Structure 1
Amino acid sequence: MKSNEEMIAGRQLYPANNSGFSNLDKSVTVGHKVNIMHVILGLVLVILVSLFMTGFGYQPWWVLGFIILVGIFITLPTCFSGYWQINKNGITVLSYSSNDVMKLMQLLHIKKIYTKSYLFENITKAEITYRKKVRISPIDFNPDFFKLNLTVNNEAIQLELGNIQAKDLVEIVAIFNTHGVAVYDRQQIIGLLEENKSLFNHFHNGKWASL
């Protein structure tokens, strides 16, 4: 097992108060904050697609109504997901209900989005990880598991990193370091992103992972 000094030299560990980073007093948002106009446009699109699929009134009205309801209450909510923010105070995770109807109400600001905050002083471990998703179907285009794993008060928290840019990930690490939290990057992901390399190609060796 490598020592901390070796991991630091190999850019696999970014220690707390690392002088290699600037003391950043800013915030980074991972994911997309939902704009209500995007939701309204989605509703309009669902209605237009439903009208097109039913021949603009050619099918019985109940068919049109059923397709619109499916589009609004099942399809539309899946187009939006939660996000999280990190700033000088800690991490705030904003998420939606797993119930499609409740989620739609949250998207329309009828109900409040779920919010949970974590203070830096309660975070004992942070690690960036990338894990391949084994696909059992050639049409499974779901992304691999790219996460920031935290231990907060002995509780494991996983935050999605998605298509994060290198500069944003570096800033996140800097904020952690500034607040006394070391960050592990055993797979040297930050270096790969800084070199503009595809994480998918790197970890799959150019092959599609399947059973």
Structure 2
Amino acid sequence: MLKSNSCVIVLVFVASLFFGITLVNAEDKSSGYVIMQTDAVTPVSGKTFLTQDVNLYFTDGGKLGTGIDTTFNENGYRKMKPFATWRTDNNLTLIGGFSADSSDAHHVFGGFNYFRLFGKSNSIFVSPNFYFSLEEKSSNFFDFFAEVKHDLGNDFALALEVVYDYWPESETSWGLVGPVFHYKLTKNLDVYTRVSGETDLNEWTAFGLRAGLSWSF
């Protein structure tokens, strides 16, 4: 449950401790990222609300990695998703973890991340995951994310993101699609903005504007 600030503090503390232990044992080739982003979401029939994400990831340069994704919005919704990764080769990484939110939906999930460069200017990233519910009040669902990115040169890049979720028990779907504009401020710091539309595959349900930054190390 994430209905109190104390739960959030405990989860963040545990995640920070996990990162700290990993950092102590890390080699010089360790790496990771910190992502912070804000979305302004406007439902077709509703008022605009803000959502904030803070995502952390770390790997010691070997096969193992750890991370946590967090989501908060001004309507009181909260979500925490700690996870671990295992790199099988240069392109494919297995991922698994736990997800809990303020609606008391608890899932364990598993899937993989696949990244590949095409030449010097193009790349693709896909991440399919299946979420298994841990109680009757929530449902199993499939989540798919894909990004195709093109380097425009002079530190600019343009990408297209697609997200698709499917709940087999209710046979319902949700999707998101939108272009992303990136600008690399430094070698390790990237800022970006995204304009997106959300759909239930029958009609548009919401539109969003995202601003974010990604710091890699």
TM-score (norm 2): 0.23
| Structure ranking higher in helix proportion | 1
Query: Greater relative contact order (Cα 8 A, min sep 6): structure 1 or 2?
Result: 1
Alignment TM-score, normalising by the size of structure 1:
0.23
Between structure 1 and structure 2, the one with the greater Rg is 1
Higher strand share: 2
